[in-house]
């Protein structure tokens, strides 16, 4: 065995010993919230398709028409010849939805964050991030070379304290938050954060990946980043903001400049999905309603989004409870370190349009 193979065999063993080895499980989506895993049909609570738009016939038809009209791929980066009229229309409608001047598209939420953050700030600047922001925001911050500090989760007073201490030595300051936190399901106090940011002349980037398609749009003086792959049921990401900022990103965000642009089918699907949620806002509300029904019955703090974590603590117990639910036809993923902090392993429920009170009651009957 070569040193290359030996090195990574040992690393695999170390991951196994630390209970951090991840394996991929083939999952087939059957429609209406049903999946097949391990040769079993399950109702899924592990999907980010909150509004069920990945299954929507109009969304599927739009994707099929785009395939027939434009082909399978976009053939180039946006700056060469991969920017289409379809993309331009989606950008305009996303900007309008967010009440912003302009928008641009990225290949994924991860690509958006690792491209946007280093384009906005660098050496001589400072980033202040909520402790629970997604890994892609952390990675984007590392790539930027800016000084980096974290404030306590959703604690705008601690943010204010850090700004008082760290703002003045730096040229620019960027605050990073999520609108809905992906592992906890709680919502950032955006109005408080924006007020503090204005006082200290700081910029704010809000990742709305898990709010889009679930919560009504929040308008404010910040850069809106979101995905097309969750509430809109397609693939890709977007950033909305002032025209000057968006035009600058198109010439400086490396993950936009040096990536092939989104496939036409994904763009068409996202555009149709966006129009559906604008026409039918009640479609967004159902997942939140079911999340709140669950938290009420479980006597938990009322859900703020479609995501509800059931904190177990011990990862073996979390895995065992997930397996028990799977045995009863329900898929609820166990989330464990390093995705979440040690001793905070949990079941992560993602409620969607496909869940009703009967299926939620079944879940409660098993876990209570």
In tens, the pLDDT along 126-179 reads 999 999 999 999 999 999 999 999 999 999 999 999 999 999 999 999 999 999
Q: What is the 3-state secondary structure (H, E, C) of the chain?
A: CCHHHHHHHHHHHHHHHCCCCCCCCCEEEEECCEEEECCEEEEECCCCCCCCHHHCHHHHHHHHHHHHHHCCCCCCEHHHHHCCHHHHHHHHHHHHHCCCCEEEEECCHHHHHHHHHHHHCCCCCEEEEECCCCHHHHHHHHHHCCEEEEECCCCHHHHHHHHHHHCCCCCCEEEEEECECCCCCCECCHHHHHHHHHHCCCEEEEECCCCCCCCCCCCCCCEEEEECCCCCCCCCEEEEECHHHHHHHHCCCHHHHCCECCCHHHHHHHHHHHHHHHHCCHHHHHHHHHHHHHHHHCCCCCCCCCEEEEEEECHHHHHHHHHHHHHCCEECCEECCCCCCCCCEEEEEECCCCCCHHHHHHHHHHHC
Domain with CATH 3.90.1150.10 in the chain: 22-50+306-367
pLDDT score recorded for residue 19: 85
**pTM of the model as a whole:** 0.96
Domain 22-50+306-367 in CATH 3.40.50.2300: no
- Considering the candidates 84, 108, 154, 182, report the single residue annotated as catalytic: 182
Give the class (CATH, top level) of 57-279.
Answer: alpha beta
- Considering the candidates 56, 224, 230, 250, report the single residue annotated as catalytic: 230
Cβ atoms 27, 46 nearer than 8 A: no
Beta strands across the sheet bearing 345-350: 307-313, 345-350, 334-335
- Return the structure tokens found at 168: 């003045």
Q: Going residue by residue through the chain (368 aa), what tens digit of pLDDT does each one get?
A: 789 999 999 999 999 998 889 999 999 999 999 999 999 999 999 999 999 999 999 999 999 999 999 999 999 999 999 999 999 999 999 999 999 999 999 999 999 999 999 999 999 999 999 999 999 999 999 999 999 999 999 999 999 999 999 999 999 999 999 999 999 999 999 999 999 999 999 999 999 999 999 999 999 999 999 999 999 999 999 999 999 999 999 999 999 999 999 999 999 999 999 999 999 999 999 999 999 999 999 999 999 999 999 999 999 999 999 999 999 999 999 999 989 999 999 999 999 999 999 999 999 999 98
- Who contacts 276 (Cβ-Cβ below 8 Å, separation ≥6)? 51, 53, 56, 58, 59, 283
- Considering the candidates 48, 154, 229, 344, report the single residue annotated as catalytic: 48
Query: Does residue 316 have a cis bond before it (omega within 30 degrees)?
Result: no
113 is catalytic: no
297 is catalytic: no
Nearest-angstrom CA–CA distance, 227 and 162? 29
- Who contacts 14 (Cβ-Cβ below 8 Å, separation ≥6)? none
User: How long is the chain?
Assistant: 368
Nearest-angstrom CA–CA distance, 141 and 136? 8
C-alpha distance from residue 286 to each of 50, 194, 202, 258, 355 (Å): 9, 29, 36, 39, 8
- Who contacts 320 (Cβ-Cβ below 8 Å, separation ≥6)? none
201 is catalytic: no
pLDDT score recorded for residue 20: 87
286 is catalytic: no
Say how many C-beta atoms besides its own lie within 10 A of residue 272's C-beta: 23
C-alpha distance from residue 326 to each of 235, 287, 307, 329, 332 (Å): 28, 21, 19, 5, 7
From 261, 279, 267, select the one nearest 229 (Cα to Cα).
267
- Return the structure tokens found at 9: 């065999």
- Considering the candidates 44, 108, 113, 134, report the single residue annotated as catalytic: 134
Domain with CATH 3.40.640.10 in the chain: 57-279
- Considering the candidates 178, 184, 186, 208, report the single residue annotated as catalytic: 178
- Return the structure tokens found at 210: 């898990």
- Considering the candidates 56, 210, 224, 250, report the single residue annotated as catalytic: 210
- Return the structure tokens found at 214: 């679930």
134 is catalytic: yes
- Considering the candidates 207, 266, 315, 344, report the single residue annotated as catalytic: 207
Across the chain, which distance is largest between two alpha carbons, in Å?
60
Say how many C-beta atoms besides its own lie within 10 A of residue 338's C-beta: 9
């Amino acid at each position: 065995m070569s040193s290359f193979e030996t090195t990574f065999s040992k690393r695999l063993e170390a991951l196994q010993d630390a209970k951090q080895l991840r394996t991929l499980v083939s999952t087939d989506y059957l429609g209406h919230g049903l999946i097949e895993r391990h040769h079993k049909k399950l109702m899924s609570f592990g999907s980010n398709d909150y509004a069920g738009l990945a299954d929507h016939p109009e969304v599927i038809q739009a994707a099929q028409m785009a395939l027939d009209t434009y082909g399978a791929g976009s053939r180039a980066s946006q700056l060469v010849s991969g920017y289409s009229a379809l993309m331009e229309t989606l950008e305009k409608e996303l900007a309008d939805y967010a009440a912003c001047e302009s928008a641009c598209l990225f290949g994924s939420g991860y690509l958006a964050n690792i491209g946007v953050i280093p384009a906005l700030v660098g050496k001589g600047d400072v980033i202040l991030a909520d402790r629970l922001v997604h890994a892609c925001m952390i990675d984007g911050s590392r790539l930027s070379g800016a000084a980096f500090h974290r404030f306590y989760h959703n604690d705008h007073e601690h943010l204010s304290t850090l700004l008082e201490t760290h703002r003045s030595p730096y040229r620019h300051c960027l605050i990073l938050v999520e609108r809905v936190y992906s592992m906890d399901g709680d919502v950032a106090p955006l109005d408080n954060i924006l007020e503090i940011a204005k006082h200290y002349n700081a910029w704010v980037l809000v990742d709305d990946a898990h709010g889009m398609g679930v919560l009504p749009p929040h308008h404010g003086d910040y850069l809106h980043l979101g995905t097309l792959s969750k509430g809109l049921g397609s693939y890709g990401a977007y950033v909305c903001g002032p025209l000057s900022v968006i035009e600058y990103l198109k010439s400086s965000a490396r993950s936009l400049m040096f990536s092939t642009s989104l496939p036409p089918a994904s763009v068409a699907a996202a555009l149709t999905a966006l129009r559906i949620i604008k026409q039918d806002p009640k479609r967004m509300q159902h997942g939140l309603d079911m999340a709140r029904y669950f938290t009420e019955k479980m006597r938990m703090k009322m859900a703020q989004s479609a995501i509800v974590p059931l904190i177990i603590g011990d990862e073996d117990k979390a895995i065992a409870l997930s397996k028990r639910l799977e045995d009863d036809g329900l898929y609820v993923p166990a989330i464990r370190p390093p995705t979440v902090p040690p001793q905070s392993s949990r079941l992560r429920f993602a409620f969607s349009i496909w869940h009703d009170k009967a299926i939620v009651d079944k879940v409660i009957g098993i876990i209570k």
